[in-house]
Structure 1
Amino acid sequence: MEGNLLQGTIPASMSQMKGLLVLDVSRNNLSGDIPVFLADMHGLVTLNMPFNNFEGEVPKRGLFLNASAALIEGNYGLCGGIPQFNSHTCSNHTPKKWSHKLVMLISVGSAVFCIILVLFALFARRKLRTKFTKTRQVPSLHSGQHMRVTYAELVRATSGFASESLVGRGSFGSVYKGTMMNGDQEVIVAVKVLNLQQRGASQSFVAECETLRCIRHRNLVKILTVCSSIDFRGLDFKALIFEFMPNGNLDQKLHSRLLEDGRHGVLSLTQRIDIAIDVASALEYLHHNKPVPIVHCDLKPSNILLDNDKVAHVGDFGLARFLHQDDTSLPEISSGWATRMGTIGYAAPGLPLTTDVHLLCTNFSFETNFTYISFPEYGQGNEASVYGDTYSYGILLLELLTGKRPTDGEFLQDLNLHSYVEIALRDQATNLVDLCLLSSLEEGTKMRAACINSVLHIGILCSKELPTDRMQIGDATRELLAIRDKYRMHLLSKGGSI
């Protein structure tokens, strides 16, 4: 918050930020005493507050015992503290004691004034909330606190987890569509129920909770709450509740051409590029997350959800890893969960066998010459890497425009989706693009063909075999934005619709 012309005092509510490591409010117009709670925040390691208008005595405990950790210069109203702060000595002069009657009068008057202010604030808040409720079109469960949901409420919301409510299945559980009440508002939710009989499901639940609690981005799924309870049989029950995405997932859009109402759901070229940018933006956010970057580890079309406007949201963080996280520190870690990194076809390919991984090869099949092993990048010592996400993203881009899954039967032996597209681009093949997308192209429109080729080229660069050869996700995002802008300008110049 450095240099933002902030005024007033540091709010007391900041004392609730138990995970706060660094606070930088330097070069503002903040005033008042230094809050005492800052000295009592054990997790705070750096406090940078020079050149404000703070005044009063500097605390002499906690972080303020270290002049290199607490920076306070430029606040000329401060006094005292440890000698290293070089502050002037606080005056020992105390004002004359007020009379008891005057103190009582001021106290009573202040209390009455505060009560009036509180009543006025509550009245204004109620009026504002009523007005907002009337004008709000899409209800949301987001609030200052997560709502509490019981197992019985989830049973009612999903009609007893009926098959009619089932919208998808994943590696560790099933997702149901449900209807719940939030106050007097009815909202549609997606309930992901973990199959705790599946090895690694409990660890997946913990991983998803740990990941989703510290991220927030427009292109990531929004978690509303979780439920950890006991079902009607007395068994453990765990579920995550998300905002429902009415347009399903990207895999359905690419490979299921007919919608429930009989309409065809083919994605246009502009929509596909928008989805590619949305996913890239989410990955770039995750890979640069503070204080610890996050690797998704299972990026694929079925984990890309689409909202009403077909804006893409990356979901399913059951295999996510915090970068440089020491997995051995996780209690009771399941080997089934720890070794599951990605999905066949989307996970980065195996790497040459080295002496460093001989002891990890017990459960992996060797080729005849024992030169290579079937060992995905994610599998080496369970260390996740942003390069693995980049590879998965590259394959997703290729599938997005070709309409071919990386596991299609036509890809045999050394041929895969990456090499298939690379060869086709080199030979300028015309049957490369998804037929549904090709049928919507205007005849003779070279700009669209050039746009498709540019996006496929990015997919090739992101899915290179060697991790260090892959395009960085931030560069891919910027190039895709440039391609989209150029294509939109072309459509507008031709009088077409975007």
Structure 2
Amino acid sequence: MDRTILFHIFAAFLLLYNFPTTCSSRTSPNITTDQSALLALKSSITLPPDHILVSNWTTTTPSSVCDWVGVTCGKLHRRVAALDLPNMGLIATIPPHLGNLSFLVHLDIGNNSFYGDLPKELANLRRLQHIDVWLNNFSGQIPQWFDAFPKLVYLDVSNNSFSGSVPEDFGNLQSLKVLQMKYNQFTGSIPGTIFNISSLEVLDFTGNSLSGNLPTHMCNYLPNLKGLYLSINELEGQFPPGLQECSKLQSLSLSVNQFTGRIPSEIGNLTMLKELLLGFNSLEGEIPREFANLVNLEVISLHRAGLKGLIPSFLSNMSSLQEIGLAINNFSGSLPRNICSQSLVTCLIWRNKLSGTIPSEIGNCTALREIVLAENDFTEYGQEGLVSTNCDVYSFGIMMMEVFTRKKPTDEMFTSDLSLSRWVSEALVNGVTQAMDSRLIRKEEEHFFAEVSCVSSIFELALNCTAESPKNRINIKDALALLQKIRLEFLSKLSEN
């Protein structure tokens, strides 16, 4: 027999003999592998002694990894399926060991202080459906391997410092429903491939430096899109045509870009729209009359959009409308008599060319909290007795707060949870000087306590003027009488001293 043939036969027998041994010596990933990956993550984090992970993520107790805080295991395979660690004050880089959590489906480490890059080993987690790393300090280019997650449904990398271009391969994520990449440093154009993800429901690139035009018919393959957020970028070109094909759209945010042209009449086909933000562009023409079809609209913001013409009367028929923002345009004529729907909270129409008188119906808007009509050419406010006393006394109360606090209701310190009225109300409990303009009263002054008492009484009156329900507001005549009484009491205290 030929020696070469004999050699191959002999080698084959050796392989057959050793094959079972080789296979039996291999170790498959298991819960111990997951434990090691999580402990590697813990060791990369600098934790204070009292942090929950210090005492909970440990092998010194009989508890299983599946019982650790933020860890959820699958019922069948008993492997780590979800890692939820948001809002825990964690500062660290992501160790490559996290890529060994091969059964991981859900990853949420949002609102921490993780930094550096996302390690390439995470591409091994092919079961991932949910990735949330928002509000951290990650930097560098967005990884090119995100298309390694064929089942990915939710991706949020917002509020980090990612830079560079948005990967074309994102278009391969055909199961994706939510893509949020707002407030990073992305540049270049939005890849056209993203507009081919037919499952997409939310697309958010707010607050980047993206440029270029949007696809002519970007909604052709986005039948499920509900939210399109592209504000605060450098996008340009004509106002995107074909938006009417996004029939399920509820929020359209394109403010602070460089779009030009007219608002297409087809926008009236978006009958499910609740939020429309188009301000700070270079549009032209009038508000299309087809806006009247947007009966579900709650917020409309067209500040500094370059628009002109009359403010459409059909805005009065939108019973869901809560905010109207039409400031810094070239609108002319008079305000529609029924401009305020029953639910209107904010109305900003300043710096236009409006004229005439303010309609009396504004005073009947029970939900209205802020109306700014300044820098128009209206007849003096209330000159013809058209504005109701409910609205009048509210403005009077706000004016008193502004004078004695040196704050406006639109000051950046006030949010949805803290208004000017609430701030003043809390100051009356915790110390009125906290809200007072520090230039008005000084502790070293002779009449300091009398002055504080006077301002405190004025704040109480102002709050009575601005009660949430118009029915609970003090009458304007009574308010003026009380203000006169506060003045006399203050003068009396000064004379006593």
The two structures have a TM-score, normalised by structure 2, of 0.25
Larger helix proportion of the pair: 1
Rg larger in 1 or in 2? Answer: 2
TM-score for the superposition, normalised by structure 1: 0.25
Between 1 and 2, higher relative CO (CA 8 Å, sep ≥ 6) is seen in 1
